[in-house]
Amino acid sequence: MFRCWCLKAFRADRRLVGNSHVLPRSASAPSRRTLSGVYTRPCCTKLWLGTRSVASVTASTDLTYAQLRRLLAGGKAVVIDVREPWELREYGVIPGSINVPLGQVNGALQLVPEEFRKQYGGEMPGQADNVVFTCLKGIRSKTALDTAISLGYKDVQHYPGGWQDWAKNEHKN
C-alpha cells in the first residue's frame, strides 16, 4: 500500500490542532486548497478528510453498460459482483461475474488462487488483470474498487449503474 510522508505529518499535526478537517500546510510540500476547504498535496494519491481517506484515481474508473458488455464478450475482464448471495438469487446476475460479497473482498483478493477458486467458483484476478466491480446501484462496487487499489491492483474499474442499469439495458436489447 502506498504511504506518503504527508500522512505521518498530517497525523502528527492533527494531534496538535485537535479535530480539524483541513490538512495543515507545510513549506516543504506545497498544497492546494480545493473548493471544499480540503488541502491536497501533489505527492499524495489520496485526499485526507479528517481521519478518513478517499482514494482518487487519475484515470476514469467508471464503465458504461456498452463498455462492460464489450469486456465480457471479449473475455478481457474479471467481473466481481459484491452483492450478497441472496441479492443475486432475488434480482439476477450479470453473466460471467463472480460473487464475492463486499465484506469478503479484502480477504478474497489476498487468497492463493486455488483457495479463491474453491471458495468463489472462479479464477482469481491477478494484480495486473482488468477487474471490474459491480453491485446493485454502484455504491458498494466503488468501495470494493478502493479496496482493490489499496491492495495493489492496477487495472480496476467499477460499473456505477450496477445490476439495475444492466437489467434495464438488457431488456431494451
The label of the residue with cell 474498487 reads 145
β partners of residue 53: 48
Does residue 135 have an active-site annotation?
Answer: yes
17 conformational bin, left if phi > 0, alpha if psi -120 to 50, beta if neither: alpha
- Strands, DSSP E only, in the chain? 32-33, 39-40, 46-49, 52-55, 78-81, 98-99, 130-134, 155-158
Among candidate residues 4, 6, 44, 135, the one labeled active-site is: 135
Compute the distance between CA of residue 145 and CA of residue 162 in angstroms, rounded to an integer. Answer: 13
Residue 95, C-beta contacts closer than 8 angstroms, at least 6 positions apart: 72
Q: For strand 39-40 and strand 52-55, is the pairing parallel, antiparallel, or unpaired?
A: unpaired
Active site residue ranges: 135
